[in-house]
C-alpha cells in the first residue's frame, strides 16, 4: 500500500497531502485586505514553501487551478504568476471566477505537483 503523508493537518483539512510521487496542495489564499497582487505573491510564496517541504519545487507542478473573485483581476494576477512560474516547465492551468470563502479573498490557487526524483 502506498504511504500517505499529510502536512499541517487540522480538523478540517491538510495543507498538503503526499501520495506516492504526487503532491496535492490545499487551496492557498493570501491575507484579507491585501490587493490581488499581494494576495497572489503571498499564495505563491506559500506554494514554494509547501512544495519544498514536500520534496518538490515549482518546476514540477503538474496542474494549477486558479479561482478569482472577479475575472477583472485576471491581468493583475497573471502579472505576478508570469514572473513566478517556471516558464520552461509551465503546468496545465485553468482559471475561473468564483465566490471565495469570504469577500476578503480575491485569489485562491490549488496545485498538484510531482515529487522530485
CA distances from residue 96 to 11, 20, 75, 93 in whole angstroms, order as listed: 28, 29, 13, 10
Please check the confidence at residue 117 and state whether its pLDDT lies above 90.
no
| pLDDT value, residue 32 | 93
Please provide residue 79's backbone torsions phi and psi, each rounded to the nearest 5 degrees: -60, -40
What's the pLDDT tens digit per position in 96-114? 999 999 999 999 999 999 9
Instruction: Count CB atoms within 10 A of the CB of residue 115.
Output: 14
SS3 of 102, please?
coil
CATH class of 4-114: alpha beta
Percent of the chain with pLDDT over 90: 97
Query: What kind and span of H or E run contains 7?
Result: strand 4-9
Domain-wise residue ranges, the chain: 4-114
Residue pLDDT, tens place only, 54-81: 999 999 999 999 999 999 999 999 999 9
Q: Residue 101 has what DSSP assignment?
A: S
Q: Whole-model pTM?
A: 0.96
Amino acid at each position: 500500500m502506498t504511504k500517505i503523508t499529510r502536512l499541517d493537518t487540522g480538523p478540517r483539512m491538510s495543507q498538503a497531502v503526499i501520495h506516492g510521487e504526487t503532491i496535492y496542495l490545499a487551496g492557498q489564499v493570501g491575507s484579507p485586505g491585501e490587493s490581488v497582487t499581494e494576495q497572489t505573491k503571498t499564495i505563491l510564496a506559500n506554494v514554494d514553501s509547501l512544495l519544498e517541504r514536500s520534496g518538490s519545487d515549482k518546476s514540477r507542478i503538474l496542474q494549477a487551478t486558479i479561482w478569482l473573485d472577479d475575472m477583472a483581476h485576471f491581468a493583475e494576477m497573471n502579472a505576478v504568476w508570469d514572473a513566478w512560474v517556471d516558464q520552461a516547465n509551465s503546468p496545465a492551468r485553468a482559471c475561473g471566477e468564483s465566490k471565495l470563502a469570504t469577500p476578503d479573498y480575491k485569489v485562491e490557487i490549488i496545485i498538484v505537483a510531482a515529487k522530485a526524483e
